[in-house]
Amino acid sequence: METSSNKRLEILKNHKGFSQVFKPGKLTFGFVAPMAGYPDAPTPDIDSFTKIVRIADEGGVDVIWLRDVPFLDPNFGDVGQVYDPMVYGGVLAATTKRIAIGTAGIVLPLRDPIIVAKQAVSLDQLSGGRFILGLASGDRYSEYPAFGSNFNDRVERFREAREVIRKVTEEHYPILDTAYYGTLNGAIDLVPKPIAGIIPTISIGRGGQDLKWIGENMDGWLWHGENARNIPLRIQQWQEATNGINKPYGYAHFFDLSENIDEPVSFSGNYIRGGRNALINFWQQQQQAGLSHAVLNPKPTRRPADEMIQEFCEFIIPQFR
């Protein structure tokens, strides 16, 4: 039986990862893996990632976001953390203690939803309830032919795959007929089940969906690709889409923390930069406006990653605790 949005949010209050990342009235921070700068190359130096993760885990960063990038497309010039997000999520589950692990996001139309569900519940169990499933439809057209997948029906398949994941993770011996995937006839059951009973499932971008559908079918929304100063408008739209239910909203940005602690905050499209004093003031205003979570991707920075993350943890995060 489908769980209502209000009931889901009550359940998710007991989910370790979700409740840590999405706190009503509080702004939290996550970093996109590998949490380091690589402005001149598509591939980051991942050898130092273990050290950076330790700093983030111990310093109070709320979540590490892993991207789903199977191929190097020179037109995009970025392969994220290189390794598969679900496999790497397992490594992080074993080597971290408190930080949540999220995907931002699994390109759902290119993956089998039952396999995604199995991986997600496995990570939920292995991490002690710290896993958050972020889903996307993908924006790299060049990947679709490689998977033999139709780019033009990805929106419909995204919706259907979301329902498959919900069914097999939240119901025992589910029954479901699908147009694009398989058939569940009630004879088999996916194991294990989520620790809290459900997997927190976040929309990364819009997946080609109407915002109303996202508000009704997802546990939160992380947007990207626009200036952070538009937050009041987006939150108003999100509240309307969720019928006033307090589902979390956050945004993702390229990010650079200036070594000049008093440098003003500046914006350039999907890019935000500033010194820590100005950023604290800016994010305090965003928190008051209703922003739940800021996803920061430091790809443009030229600062040593460990130095930047250490400063962020020492001076910025405590202002929001």
What tens digit of pLDDT does each residue of 90-130 get? 999 999 999 999 999 999 999 999 999 999 999 999 999 99
Three-class SS state of 161 = helix
Higher pLDDT, 110 or 232: 110
Backbone torsions φ then ψ of 208, nearest 5 degrees: 75, 5
CATH code reported for the domain at 5-320: 3.20.20.30
Among residues 253, 164, 166, 154, the alpha carbon closest in space to that of 218 is found at 166
Q: Is the pLDDT of residue 160 over 90?
A: yes
CA distances from 146 to 41, 71, 140 (A): 24, 10, 11
Give the per-residue pLDDT at 2.
60
Q: What percent of the chain has pLDDT over 70?
A: 98
Do the beta carbons of residue 282 and residue 274 sit within 8 Å? yes
Structure tokens at 278: 């100005």
Distance CA 128, CA 307 (A): 29
pLDDT band at 226 (very low <50, low <70, confident <90, very high): low
Give the per-residue pLDDT at 224.
82
Give the per-residue pLDDT at 190.
98
pLDDT band at 225 (very low <50, low <70, confident <90, very high): low
pLDDT band at 212 (very low <50, low <70, confident <90, very high): very high
Mean pLDDT of 50-63: 96
pLDDT band at 232 (very low <50, low <70, confident <90, very high): confident
Q: Is the pLDDT of residue 1 over 60?
A: no
pLDDT band at 46 (very low <50, low <70, confident <90, very high): confident
Q: What percent of the chain has pLDDT over 90?
A: 85
Mean pLDDT of 160-186: 97
Q: Is the pLDDT of residue 227 over 80?
A: no
CA distances from 121 to 15, 65, 136 (A): 13, 17, 18
pLDDT band at 254 (very low <50, low <70, confident <90, very high): very high
Mean pLDDT of 145-158: 94
pTM of the model: 0.96
Give the per-residue pLDDT at 230.
75
